[in-house]
Amino acid sequence: MKKAILGIIFRKTKQSYEYLLLKRIASRGGFWQPVSGRVEKNETPLVAAKREVAEETGIKNIKRTIKNFYNFQLENELDKKSYCFGFEVNSKTEVKLDINIYPEHDESKWCNFEQAIKLLIWPHNKEALKILNSFLLKD
């Protein structure tokens, strides 16, 4: 079975949390999403998630990892399972989209929960964000 990851990067604010969303380049749909990617051969989903975060955002310093808090399979991809992770970063962490050797995103945005839910279009992305946000609010 193929494996994929979803990595939701977040940071603490005075009131709550903000989530990092990336906008796909127009030729790849032009929609907002968290970090996503596939698990390469001989990688665990967590290693793949950290690699994808570094490749897509330049972020390497992660304060806290919330491991595999949600899994999903899309109806049209029953041979692929996706694993979701949360990665907390410091409030001053810089996002560098231009370091990715495979241009995938042309914008990034820190959003509160309500803004992020409105920007996300895929139901599994929204569900992952809801689960993570709910977990963080209990924290």
pLDDT in tens, the chain (139 residues): 889 999 999 999 988 999 999 999 999 899 999 999 999 999 999 999 999 999 999 999 999 999 988 888 877 766 788 999 999 999 999 999 887 777 888 999 999 999 999 999 999 999 999 999 999 988 7
pLDDT of residue 74: 73
pLDDT of residue 111: 97
For residue 108, what are the domain limits?
Answer: 2-138
CATH number, position 85: 3.90.79.10
pTM, entire model: 0.93
C-alpha distances out from residue 98 to 64, 69, 124, Å? 25, 29, 27
Which two tokens mark 54? 């570094």
C-alpha distances out from residue 76 to 12, 101, 105, 109, Å? 36, 29, 24, 29
The total number of structural domains that make up the chain: 1
pLDDT of residue 79: 72
